[in-house]
Structure 1
Amino acid sequence: MNKQKHQHSKSGFNKPFAQHFQQMQASGSSQGHSRERSLDEVWGGSYLQNGYFDGNGNLLEELVRRDKLTPLIEAMINSQPKLTSSQLRRFFQHCRAIETRILSQTSGWEKQKAEFLKLDAAAADAYGKQEKKIPKIFHDFIQRNVAAVKTEKDFMEGFLKHFEALVGFATQHLEKERR
């Protein structure tokens, strides 16, 4: 009888198993979990690297285009935990309340800026809990946008338009998740 010797790697595992294990680790899929893609990976470049506006002060179209936002939405709802419509609405409504106060002129941007900055703290709290309430990619979305907003124009004409488009396109995806 011809005995076939199994080649072993330095770890002591036979080579096919060791190679499979190394591939799983490299792809981040050990224990059946795939590694969550980062915001930059999903966006296909450095997210918000150029801010919200082009050289003429116009909103960058990529921030409100379906083809750019859909992969981001899908990553948010396919993460663990999944982004829920109630979590998305909670953060969006916080921003709408700030917008309303600014537009009604009961308060200006300088007074509302601190309220806006609290959005980052709310995301950190929701993500940092023992049982996470939002996915990392949504936490990073909020964190990056809060960091990018410097002026009232950034908030009103940049971030809000971008977030509004995300919420609008997310509705159909979140409806599918509820069924």
Structure 2
Amino acid sequence: MEIEKTPLEGCFIIKPRVFKDERGSFFESFNQEKFEKLTGKTVRFVQNNQSISSRGVLRGLHFQKGKFAQAKLVRVISGEVLDVAVDLRRDSKTFGEHFSIVLNETNNYQLFVPRGFAHGFSTLSERAIFSYQCDNFYHQESESGVLYKDPQLSIDWKLKDSEVLLSQKDKVLPLLSDFTENYM
């Protein structure tokens, strides 16, 4: 396992060591001891989620507020997505900035998204299976988000506007400028 820092403090790309032979491939998708040693962070994942999406599906930008905030370790099992993390920590020097990375079944990269970040992804392949571990349980009353096409963020989701498929909930999320408190 190799850790690569992103421009956003606490947000890491995890590159697993992949073993390949004539039978296929194998890699360790998570190892608590190695993760803690390489990142200096102790995280206890308590919930695993998986979604299946078709091309153009955009999920995000989501987060949970207050004591229900979640850190996430995300990866693609099959297909390809553009994964995006947005720093919402008001005291951070990178508040309001985002980082994006292509995650797919070939590179096997993972992204660690710490608490205090919004997260989302767009599906670039015809179909993608997306998996993520969370360090806190889902709490419906604490869920929130930022509009995916917020002009302040200017995120290039690698999709044409006509391709984007959103949930009704994601269509009406507020802009980053509408937030008046720290949502960590």
Q: Tell me if TM exceeds 0.5.
A: no
Q: TM-score, normalised by structure 1?
A: 0.28
Greater RCO between the two (CA within 8 Å, min separation 6)?
2
| Structure index of larger Rg | 1
Higher helix proportion: 1
Higher strand proportion: 2
Q: TM-score, normalised by structure 2?
A: 0.27
